Amino acid sequence: MLGFTIRRLAQAVPVIFCAISLLFFLFYVLPGDPVTILSGGTGRNVPEVTRQNIEQKYGFDKSIPEQFATYWGNVATGDLGDSLRDDQPVWDKVKQFAPNSIRLAFWALVLEAFFGIGIGMVSAVKRYSVIDTVTTLLSTIAMAIPVFVSGYLIIYVFGITAFQRGWPEWIRFPTGRTPENWAFFFFPADEESFRRLVPPAVALALIQIAVVARMTRTTMLETINTDYVRTARAKGLTERSVVFKHGLRNALIPVVTLIGLDFGTLIGSAVLTETVFSYNGLGSQIVRAAQFRDAPVVLGLTLVVVIAYLVVNLIVDLSYGVLDPRIRYDD
């Protein structure tokens, strides 16, 4: 197990290196020039002096390999550099935005696991019933609606209309700001923070709930039709015990894989959700920085996402052993 873990961690190093290097060079392939943006944007006649001063200050006067070497030298010593746009250290941005992304992903994951597995299980057990048909239909619809539609819909109904029409307090969810007060890192500390967390978390989880529900239903149906479940039934176990102990636990392995990997994906790919809800997370910041050709920020924040993804991946792999004792990690 230890050897496996170390091997996996060692494998992560080239992955991180390649990914960030790829992005680094991408900035040179893409048209556009950070110096132009730094010196006041396109369409402005920039005095040569200003241009040179800016090039020197940010090291753009050096060759690309030199810049590349400098960048990795700094990263290796833990220095992610400063933002080109506002000169803030990238680390400060990571410290500010990564927790928000992790919290959002966490709650989306909780919703995903709870509703996804719940719905999937019910529709598998009550196969071809009205409930099954309805949930199948709903999950198909949910999967088809992109978050920039569902997100705006949620904002429009619960964030705007609810206030303008004076709907009851409990149904109003203000949006447009990131929740600020947290307890024990993960839990909204006051009602306002809770109300600001719900809409983006729901929007982010919506599609995944549908995916998980579909998957749970399928694997659950497979398991229910296996011999050992039939045996369990034949033994005269209660239906409850059959479904939960023998069916669900075995059906969950692929589902857990899916959900676990989702956590990494949710952190990095919440770009749209974060943007729609103006939620201050890594995703929305990466988009923003990319628009400004702010290479250090894009690279730095991406590095964090990559690492988060790798770590989660490793945890998921290790957790197979817990769910299925047959899996062993031999050294």
Partner 1 sequence: MRRHHRSFRLLAPFFALILLLAACGGTDEEEEGGPTPGGGSGESDESATGKQEGGTPATGEGLPEDTLIDYATLAAANPNHIDPATADTRNGSQVTELIYDGLTEVDSDNELVPDVAEEWESNEDATEWTFTLRDDVTFSDGEQVTPTTFKRSWERALNPELASSLAYHYLPIEGATEFSEGDAEEITGVVADDEANTLTVTLADPLSDWPAVVSHTVFSPVPEEAYSATTADEINEWERGVMIGNGPYAMDGEWENNVVIPLTENTEYWGEAPNIPNIDFRISSELEAAYNAFEGGEGDTAYIPAGSFADATETYNNATDRSFGLYYFAINYEDEFLGGEENLAVRQAISMAIDRERINEQAYDGARESATGVTPPGIPGFTEDLCGEFCTYDEEAAADLVEEWGKADEMDPIELQFNLGGDHEDVVNIVEENLTAIGLPVEQVPLDGETYFDEMQVEGGCSLCRAGWIWDYPSYYNGMYALFNSVGIDGDNLGRFNVPEFDEVANEAAATSDEDERNELWNEAEEILFDNMGVIVLNWYTNQVVYSDRVEGLVVNGLQAVNYPEMSLTEG
Work out how close the CB of 4 gets to partner 1 at its nearest, in angstroms, rounded to a whole number: 9
- Six-digit token string for 309: 């993804």
Q: Which residues inside 296-325 make contact with partner 1, applying CB under 8 A?
A: 298, 302, 305-306, 309-310, 313, 317, 320, 324
180 binds partner 1 (CB under 8 A): yes
Tell me the two tokens of residue 290. Answer: 């990319």
Per CB under 8 A, the list member of 218, 226, 265, 319 interacting with partner 1 is: 265
Q: Does 268 bind partner 1 (CB under 8 A)?
A: yes
The count of residues in the chain is 331
Residue listed under structure tokens 């992005």: 23
In Å, how far are 9, 90, 237 from 310, measured between CA atoms?
8, 21, 41
DSSP SS3 for 79? coil
Residue 135 Cβ, how far from partner 1 at the closest point, in Å? 28
What would the two tokens of residue 43 be?
């369409």
Interface positions, 144-163, toward partner 1 (CB under 8 A): 152, 155-156, 159-160, 162-163
As measured in angstroms, the least distance from the Cβ of 240 to partner 1 is 27
Residue holding tokens 């995903």? 112
| Among the residue ranges 32-40, 116-124, 212-220, 231-239, the one whose residues contact partner 1 (CB under 8 A) | 32-40
The torsion angles phi and psi of 322, rounded to 5 degrees, stand at -70, -45
Nearer to partner 1, 154 or 242 (CB): 154
Find the binder of partner 1 among 49, 76, 130, 322 (CB under 8 A): 49
Stretch that binds partner 1, among 38-46, 137-145, 203-211, 230-238 (CB under 8 A): 38-46
Question: What is the nearest approach in angstroms of partner 1 to the Cβ of residue 37?
Answer: 7
Instruction: Establish if 250 lies at the interface with partner 1 (CB under 8 A).
Output: no
Q: Residues 94, 301: contact at Cβ < 8 Å?
A: yes
Q: List the helix and strand counts (H, then E) for the chain.
A: 15, 2
Nearer to partner 1, 119 or 259 (CB): 259
Residue 37 binds to partner 1 (criterion: CB under 8 A): yes
Q: Which is nearer to partner 1, 39 or 136 (CB)?
A: 39
Nearer to partner 1, 62 or 85 (CB): 85
In whole angstroms, how far apart are CA 9 and each of 5, 14, 256, 267? 6, 10, 21, 20
Shortest gap between Cβ of 219 and partner 1 (angstroms)? 13
Please tell me whether residue 86 binds partner 1 under the rule CB under 8 A.
yes
256 binds partner 1 (CB under 8 A): no
Least separation, in Å, of the C-beta of 124 and partner 1? 21
The residue whose two tokens read 């006067």 is 61
Per-residue DSSP letters for 39-71? TT-TTS---HHHHHHHHHHHTTTS-HHHHHHHH
Total residues at the site for partner 1 (CB under 8 A)? 83
Write a three-state SS string for 188-235: ECCHHHHHHHHHHHHHHHHHHHHHHHHHHHHHHHHHHCCHHHHHHHHC
Q: Kind of pairing, strands 187-188 and 182-183?
A: antiparallel
Q: How far is the CB of 263 from partner 1 (least distance, A)?
A: 12
* CB nearer to partner 1: pick between 243 and 310: 310
Residues 105, 202, 249: CA angle, nearest 5 degrees: 70
Q: Which is nearer to partner 1, 145 or 311 (CB)?
A: 311
